[in-house]
Amino acid sequence: MEQYPAVSPSLFRTLTAQKKMVLVGAGILIFFAYVGLNIGIWRYARNSGKAAQTVAQENGGAAGDENAGPPPAGGLTPTITPTPRSTPTPTPRPTGPGPYACDPLGICNHYGDAQRKECPKTYADDHCLDECSDIKVQCPK
């Protein structure tokens, strides 16, 4: 028996040619989308840099640039004096001999008589001036 194709050979060639054209067209569209996207990214990056430069120029230079801007008249150069920062005054803590000392584990504990326990340093407050991490001030066992 003779087998007949589902479509005629001329129709098959036409469909194959159209399929190739569709694939070529899709490839061209993808290529243009890729190029357009890259151009858009490049323009964005270029314009972002210009925008940052423009802002810096309008503000007299980059932040922290003390030499930015036109020189003053008369050839004098301005001197910039830093403003002193105020530091908060620490709360005084009591010091001197007291019932507190650092134990061998580095914890500030209350001892009845820390000097009798041969502790190298005693404190009047229950924080031991936060020195208990130092082995030199810890009491022996």
Residues 53 and 104 both lie in one domain: no
Q: How far is CA 8 from the centre of its chain?
A: 68
Residues 116-132 have a mean pLDDT of 86
131 located within any domain? yes
Domain of residue 118 covers 94-141
Greatest mean pLDDT among 19-23, 26-30, 108-112, 118-122: 26-30
pLDDT for residue 27: 94
How many domains, the chain?
2
Residues 55 and 101 both lie in one domain: no
pLDDT band for 29, please (50, 70, 90 cuts). Answer: very high
Residue 111: which of 131, 139, 83, 88 has the closest Cα?
A: 139
Report the C-alpha gap between 109 and 91 in whole angstroms.
21
Residues 99 and 138 both lie in one domain: yes
